[in-house]
Amino acid sequence: MRNLVRVQTDDFDLNKEYNRLITTNSTCGAVVLFSGLVRDFIPPQQLVSLELEHYPLMTETMLGKLSMQANARWALQRTTIIHRTGKLLPGDQIVLVGVSSAHRTDAFEAAQFIMDKLKTSAPFWKKETLMPNPDSKPESYWVSAKDSDEQLAQRW
């Protein structure tokens, strides 16, 4: 499959996804693989866990559209977008964007494009459970969208 989109609770294997992006006929000259991780807060705040909600079917549709847009704009060989949902812990992998192409510029730019657009257009929402300090009770908040993400998406 040239363009792969998966939304799943399971973790993903970077090595396996890297190998899938490389075409078998040796025309591939560049692979860019981006993985997003669950980042802990700066002490004394501590992230307990993250819950990722999504809109089933729309997420897959939107991610598929992003793959198509990237293919229309850059000379790509294969693309992979994997996004996890459900409960995640600090250090866990959340998202993977992989792109292969003959030349590096196409792969670098397309990967950044997909990631920037995913952040502002794919229907996922994060709810954080955190400890404001080590002695407090856990509190849960929905993460707010960032203007800086919107600006990054607008540049394409």
Partner 1 sequence: MIKVCFFADLRERLGCAELFVQDFSGENINQLKTFIVKQHPHWEKIFLEKKLLIAVNHAMASNDTAIAAGDEVAFFPPVTGG
Backbone angles phi, psi at 4, to 5 degrees: -110, 130
Report the site for partner 1 in 43-102 (rule: CB under 8 A): 52-55, 57-58, 61-62, 83, 94-95
The answer to the question of residue 14 lying near partner 1 (CB under 8 A) is: no
Stretch that binds partner 1, among 8-16, 23-31, 105-113, 142-150 (CB under 8 A): 142-150
Residue labelled with tokens 């981006």: 34
The answer to the question of residue 122 lying near partner 1 (CB under 8 A) is: yes
Checking 141-145 for CB contacts under 8 A at 24+ apart, the result is 145/120
The answer to the question of residue 126 lying near partner 1 (CB under 8 A) is: yes
The answer to the question of residue 32 lying near partner 1 (CB under 8 A) is: no
The answer to the question of residue 120 lying near partner 1 (CB under 8 A) is: yes
The answer to the question of residue 41 lying near partner 1 (CB under 8 A) is: no
Edge-to-edge strand ranges of the sheet holding 139-142: 86-88, 46-54, 124-131, 139-142
* Residue placing its CB nearer to partner 1 in the complex, 77 or 96: 96
User: How many C-beta atoms lie closer than 10 Å to residue 55's C-beta?
Assistant: 13
